[in-house]
């Protein structure tokens, strides 16, 4: 019974596992694109940012659906690694040396572990199914509890408030039935339901807020109904349930909630025409609230006081990453590593000459050989070979279908794969149906006693599983001897594997030692290779006067792409003798050569290095400066440009003021007007009331005094 169950559920578990693992890197990529997009459009309308955020979540789900459809239809993961097959002998299949076989070995080094999808699927699939079930029940219970708020602890509002509410509903452009009630259970104003929405107001809010303040809060809730936010919240909850394991999904979902609240805030301000009054209403609500906004209320995005700060143009206190966001980033990094290694990502590389899978006479297993099995299946232009030694040890590679069919005897063929550590022997039979073929058979690995003895002399006491692992990684004896001669004669087995995986060769170590980098720990050598700290790069830095940099500093410079060409070009522009940390800071903030040259063409050719960084931090770009110059604001001081950007004084804002009759306003006055939220809409409102001769100073005074 269990076997039949596994046979039926196996394909579903396999496809689902692949989809879930692929969704990790797909979601991470979409989240990165969203972060870049939100940074680019940070001054755009909140509705645009909300739409982009929602589209990102839809894209995450859509990619998972498309991946599942692709895998189910083709029988392979879209990122399966393929190896070219070549050879000159009758039955020779060569593997590309740059992409040696992937392996899943639970006993191997943690940094060198690839995971078998066959073993993963019975961990991932049940865990995912359990998580979906638990979260579904959680949301169902929460939904029932929220619906219960409309039946318990509610009381009708007064006739006066009913009249006010109808007026507000009409002003919000809603022609559908919406109810309002006071609640002794609701902790904040919220919307319950989508088809027949009800706005619940905590009873304490009627006494804790003024009539005008409460009307503005109600306008915010009406905005949620007008925008169908409750329905979007339901769809959002489904995405969170299905992809609950992915931190990128939760990050995007949080962005949606934040932008949703901002959209409703802006709509409430537009309907009320009183930005300062609305900010005061939120502040009063924050002072009187007795809990947190609920999910179903579509308001669990940004704390009320943070929304107040945004409305008033005060810089947010949430600029620094929280512990939660850092933890989520670390979790996402770990999940990404799992998804890449599970699909046989290029965790292992071998730059030695290619090994070959060649024909062999039948060979019988001997005592001590490690037995396994292999199977092959054509998949279009390639054939995927999978080899398993035990439950958690798997290798895999691909060959070209046409080449394979030309070289093999489908009736039965014997192969061997020769490695320094030993030999893999394969025996199999095949079946063919047109252009498709498949096959399977037994295999075993036989260690080379001479290799084992030589490794023992070098200090590595190996068991059979260790030798198998070294054979799979193609760890050659000459490479180990080279490390030994350079003083690396006390490495652990895992350190040896990690060094081989990351291509820490004796030649690489020798080059570094010639440059004065002696006695580096193997972990540091691995780190330097991971980040492409090459000997030639160090020589070029020495030539430019950056000699004897620490290994950690070299790694930092490579991580942030501080190339020698960049240093030379910045020197040509007058930025000499920059320290490594200054160069890294400039690269982090995208202070590139083109940016500096364009600023020079605009007359800003004597800026300090720190001012260049400040310009980039505050998005003072050449196009930003040109926009002001076209409006007559030329030769602005660098500090004034930064001040303009901080307070959102843009060329568009100045043009809007000019269209309303306010021209030739001083830079300082422009900043003052933006600080006090003297917007074009506010000016239009005052002009409609007959105040069409107010000076910029008068407008600021009106805003300061809450008119």
Rounded CA gap, 194 and 89, in Å?
A: 71
Radius of gyration (C-alpha) of the chain in whole angstroms: 33
Give which of 273, 99, 198 is closest to 689, Cα–Cα. Answer: 273
Rounded CA gap, 405 and 652, in Å?
A: 67
Structure token digits, residue 675: 């600080």
Rounded CA gap, 88 and 102, in Å?
A: 25
**CA dihedral (450, 452, 456, 459) positive or negative:** positive
Give which of 503, 104, 526, 504 is closest to 338, Cα–Cα. Answer: 104
Residue 346 dihedral angles phi and psi, to the nearest 5°: -75, 60
Query: For residue 20, what pLDDT is reported?
Result: 86
Query: Scanning the structure block, which residue is given the tokens 């959002």?
Result: 236
Rounded CA gap, 314 and 306, in Å?
A: 9
Structure token digits, residue 248: 């990128």
245, 253, 292, 333 from 326: Cα distances, Å: 16, 16, 23, 11
Domains of the chain by range and CATH? 81-111+344-475 (no CATH), 127-326 (3.30.2010.10), 476-584 (no CATH), 618-704 (no CATH)
The torsion angle over the Cα atoms of residues 377, 382, 386 and 387, rounded to 10 degrees, is 110
Query: For residue 317, what pLDDT is reported?
Result: 47
Angle between helix 535-543 and 506-514 (nearest 10): 10
Structure token digits, residue 219: 């306008």
Contact of 443 with 374, CB cutoff 8 Å: yes
Query: For residue 107, what pLDDT is reported?
Result: 33
Query: For residue 114, what pLDDT is reported?
Result: 41
67, 70, 129, 317, 481 from 16: Cα distances, Å: 10, 12, 10, 41, 45
Rounded CA gap, 426 and 397, in Å?
A: 14
Q: How many CA atoms lie within 13 A of 61 on its CB side?
A: 16
3-state SS, 357-386, equals EEECCCCCCCCCCEEEEEEEEEECCEEEEE
> What is the b/e burial string over 370-379, where b = at least 16 CB atoms within 10 angstroms of the residue's CB?
bebebebbbb
Give which of 537, 535, 613 is closest to 570, Cα–Cα. Answer: 613
Contact of 700 with 676, CB cutoff 8 Å: yes
- Report the DSSP pairing between strands 436-447 and 393-400: unpaired
Q: How many CA atoms lie within 13 A of 623 on its CB side?
A: 2
Query: Scanning the structure block, which residue is given the tokens 């609230």?
Result: 289
Residues of the chain with pLDDT below 50 are 1-7, 75-116, 290-301, 317-324, 326, 341-357
Rounded CA gap, 464 and 447, in Å?
A: 7
280, 633, 678 from 700: Cα distances, Å: 18, 21, 7
Contact of 97 with 419, CB cutoff 8 Å: no
Q: How many CA atoms lie within 13 A of 124 on its CB side?
A: 28
Query: For residue 349, what pLDDT is reported?
Result: 35
- 637-676 tens-digit pLDDT: 999 999 999 999 999 999 999 999 999 999 999 999 999 9
Which H or E element spans position 114? Answer: none
Query: For residue 126, what pLDDT is reported?
Result: 87
Contact of 686 with 699, CB cutoff 8 Å: yes
Q: Where are the extended beta strands (E) located within 50-156? A: 92-94, 102-105, 154-155
The model's pTM = 0.51
The C-alpha angle 14, 20, 25, rounded to 5 degrees, equals 130
Residue 673 dihedral angles phi and psi, to the nearest 5°: -65, -40
60 has which bridge partners?
A: none
**CA dihedral (278, 279, 280, 286) positive or negative:** positive
Contact of 131 with 446, CB cutoff 8 Å: no
Residue 358 dihedral angles phi and psi, to the nearest 5°: -120, 160
Rounded CA gap, 56 and 458, in Å?
A: 54
Rounded CA gap, 344 and 100, in Å?
A: 10
What is the DSSP code (8-state) at residue 312? T
Give which of 44, 43, 47 is closest to 55, Cα–Cα. Answer: 47
Query: For residue 332, what pLDDT is reported?
Result: 53
- Report the DSSP pairing between strands 179-183 and 198-202: parallel
183 SS3 class = strand
DSSP state string for 580-600: HHHHHHHHHTT--HHHHHHHH
Residues 6+ apart with CB under 8 A from 388: 116, 118, 372, 373, 374, 394
Query: How many helices and strands, by DSSP H and E, does the chain display?
Result: 30, 13
DSSP state string for 387-449: EESSTTEEEEEEEEHHHHHHH--TT-EEEEEEETTEEEEEEEEEEEETTEEEEEEEEEEEE-H
Our measurement of the distance from residue 527's CA atom to the centroid of its chain's CA atoms, rounded to an integer in Å, reads 23
Rounded CA gap, 54 and 254, in Å?
A: 10
């Amino acid at each position: 019974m269990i076997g039949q169950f596994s046979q039926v559920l196996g394909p579903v578990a396999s496809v689902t596992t692949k989809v879930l693992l692929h969704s990790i890197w797909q979601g991470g990529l979409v989240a990165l694109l969203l972060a870049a997009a939100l940074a680019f459009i940070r001054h755009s309308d909140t509705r645009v940012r909300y739409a982009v955020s929602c589209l990102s979540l839809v894209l995450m789900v859509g990619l998972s659906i498309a991946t599942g459809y692709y895998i189910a239809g083709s029988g392979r993961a879209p990122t399966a690694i393929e190896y070219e097959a070549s050879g000159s002998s009758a039955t020779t299949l060569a593997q590309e040396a740059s992409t040696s076989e992937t392996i899943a070995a639970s006993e191997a080094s943690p940094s060198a572990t690839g995971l078998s999808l066959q073993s993963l699927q019975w961990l991932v699939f049940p865990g995912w199914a359990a998580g979906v079930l638990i979260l579904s029940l959680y949301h169902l219970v929460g939904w029932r509890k929220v619906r219960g708020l409309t039946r318990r602890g509610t009381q009708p509002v007064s006739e006066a408030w009913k009249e006010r509410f109808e007026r507000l509903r009409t002003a919000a452009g809603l022609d559908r039935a919406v109810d309002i009630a006071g609640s002794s259970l609701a902790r904040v104003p919220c919307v319950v339901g989508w088809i027949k929405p009800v706005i619940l107001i905590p009873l304490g809010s009627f006494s804790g807020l003024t009539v005008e303040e409460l009307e503005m809060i109600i306008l915010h809730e009406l905005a949620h109904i007008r925008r169908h936010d409750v329905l979007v919240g339901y769809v959002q909850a489904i995405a969170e349930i299905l992809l609950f394991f992915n931190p990128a999904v939760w990050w995007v979902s949080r962005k949606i909630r934040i932008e949703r609240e901002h959209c409703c805030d802006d709509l409430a301000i537009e309907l009320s025409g009183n930005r300062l009054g609305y900010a005061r209403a939120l502040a009063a609500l924050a002072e009187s609230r007795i809990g947190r906004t609920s999910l179903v209320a579509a308001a669990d995005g940004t704390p009320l006081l943070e929304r107040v700060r945004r409305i008033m143009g005060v810089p947010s206190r949430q600029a620094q990453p929280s512990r939660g966001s850092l933890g989520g980033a670390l979790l996402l990094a770990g999940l990404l590593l799992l998804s890449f290694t599970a699909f046989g990502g290029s965790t292992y590389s071998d730059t030695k000459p290619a090994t070959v899978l060649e024909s062999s006479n039948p060979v019988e297993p001997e005592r001590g050989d490690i037995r396994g099995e292999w199977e092959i299946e054509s998949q279009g232009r390639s054939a995927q070979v999978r080899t398993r030694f035990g439950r958690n040890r798997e290798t895999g590679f691909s060959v070209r279908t046409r080449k394979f069919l030309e070289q093999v005897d489908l009736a039965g063929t014997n192969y061997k794969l020769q490695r320094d550590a030993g030999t893999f022997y394969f025996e199999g039979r095949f079946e063919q149906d047109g252009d498709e073929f498949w096959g399977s058979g037994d295999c075993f690995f036989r260690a080379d006693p001479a290799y084992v003895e030589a490794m023992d002399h070098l200090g590595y006491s190996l068991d059979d599983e260790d030798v198998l692992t070294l054979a799979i990684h193609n760890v050659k004896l000459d490479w180990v001897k080279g490390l030994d001669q350079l003083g690396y004669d006390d490495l652990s087995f895992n350190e040896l594997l990690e060094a081989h995986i990351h291509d820490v060769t004796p030649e690489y170590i020798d080059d570094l030692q010639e440059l004065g980098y002696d006695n580096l720990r193997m972990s540091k050598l691995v780190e330097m290779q991971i980040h492409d700290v090459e000997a030639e790069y160090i020589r070029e830095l020495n030539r430019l006067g950056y000699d004897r940099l620490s290994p950690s500093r070299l790694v930092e410079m490579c991580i942030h792409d501080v190339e020698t060409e960049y240093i030379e070009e910045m020197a040509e522009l007058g930025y000499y003798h920059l320290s490594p940390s200054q160069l890294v800071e400039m690269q982090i903030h995208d202070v590139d050569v083109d940016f500096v040259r364009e600023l020079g063409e605009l007359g800003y050719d004597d800026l300090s290095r720190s001012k260049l960084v400040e310009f980039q931090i505050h998005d003072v770009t050449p196009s930003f400066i040109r926009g002001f110059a076209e409006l007559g604001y030329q030769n602005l001081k660098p500090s004034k440009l930064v001040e303009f950007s901080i307070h959102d004084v843009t060329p568009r804002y100045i043009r809007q003021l000019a269209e309303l009759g306010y021209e030739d306003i001083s830079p300082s006055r422009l900043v003052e007007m933006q600080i006090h939220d003297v917007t074009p809409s506010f000016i239009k409102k005052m002009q409609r009331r007959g105040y069409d001769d107010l000076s910029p100073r008068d407008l600021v005074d009106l805003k300061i005094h809450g008119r």
